[in-house]
Amino acid sequence: MNFKSHELKEFLESKGLLIDVRSPDEYYKGHMPNSINIPLFNNEERTIVGKNYKLNGKEIAIIKGLEIVEAKLDNLISQFVSAKNKYFKNSNNIDSNNFKIYCARGGMRSQSIFWLLNKLNFSGILLRGGYKSYRRSVLNKFNENIKINLIGGKTGSGKTKILNIMKKNKYQIIDLEYLANHRGSTFGSLGMNEQPTNEQFENLIADELYKLDKNKVIYIEAESANIGRCRIPFELFNQMKISPRIEIIRSEKDRIKELVNTYSVFSKKELIESIVRIKKRLGPQRTELAINSVENENWQNVCRAVLDYYDKCYEYELRDKENVQKLNLTEVDEKKIIPLMIQNGLIS
């Protein structure tokens, strides 16, 4: 079998099962979305080979690497066969038996895996320049001009729901909170999976941008620079700051209902811990009120105590914004949101 090395664009557009052969630590820090990690070396083995390279040179490091791979060859073969059986079976989206392989720089690790795949009579392609070339493309993506419209609104306005409704109606959206596994407030991590690293968060955003038409408007929720521990790429955030904004208006009653439905399902311990994290900003009286209300399951009072703080922060942030169009969705049925946005000239 011939294994071909492709530039990034062709590599991304080709079909096949995407395999990252770098170490688990490298993969965790950042990887191409939808890739599977089948490492040639684990974290400890990679360190051993690296030390040999620094102390004894390339040839000795290669020999040591071959010794490690020889001892685990059966396991590697098993992983690729398992991946083939799991991901290629009954799949119309992935070319049968075709693997898309990348390592850090498109060097010896991916080439070694190519040799192994050849022995198994599998086909595959290699990413020229490896993950390093992909990361360079990700960072360049944020320098492109993007047509952004923001969906803004105070806490509890249902902005994420609106984005998802727009997506169902074929509008282009990027849900940053979904990608960050965080809702953006002190309560934002409740019920969510572990957040990605910041590097992986950037990869996920870029992956969404690759899929979308940059000549059409992309709708994004108005966010602070940080969503939990994830930071929106500087260049993208600068574009967001000057983008037109659709400001969602909801009554306090609607907002409290939304927040109660979202957060009252979590344990009192989790909710109180979240409140304590912002006690300096809430102040002693609001903090005490919020905690007591959680303990008494008075969810409306919890929301009022916290909203008082978040609303003031939001109003302060919004004061200098230009090109803001308001849309009042108080007691508006979800099915009427898109028609109302069209009627008001906010979307087409």
- Grouping H, G, I as helix, E, B as strand and the rest as coil, residue 242 is coil
The beta strand positions in 107-224, using DSSP E, are 123-127, 148-153, 172-174, 218-221
Q: How many CA atoms lie within 13 A of 251 on its CB side?
A: 6
Let me know how many helices (H) and strands (E) the chain has, helices first: 17, 12
Nearest Cα to 124, choosing from 80, 86, 62, 90? 80
Report the amino acid identity of residue 41. F
d(C-alpha 49, C-alpha 200), whole Å:
26
Which residue among the candidates 103, 230, 303, 313 is catalytic per the annotation?
103
d(C-alpha 128, C-alpha 44), whole Å:
26
- Indicate if 313 belongs to the active site: no
Characterize the bridge pairing of strands 98-102 and 172-174: unpaired
Cβ proximity of 273 and 267 under 8 Å: no
Burial of 58 (0-12, 13-18, 19+ CB in 10 A): exposed
Q: Hey, which residues are catalytic here?
A: 103
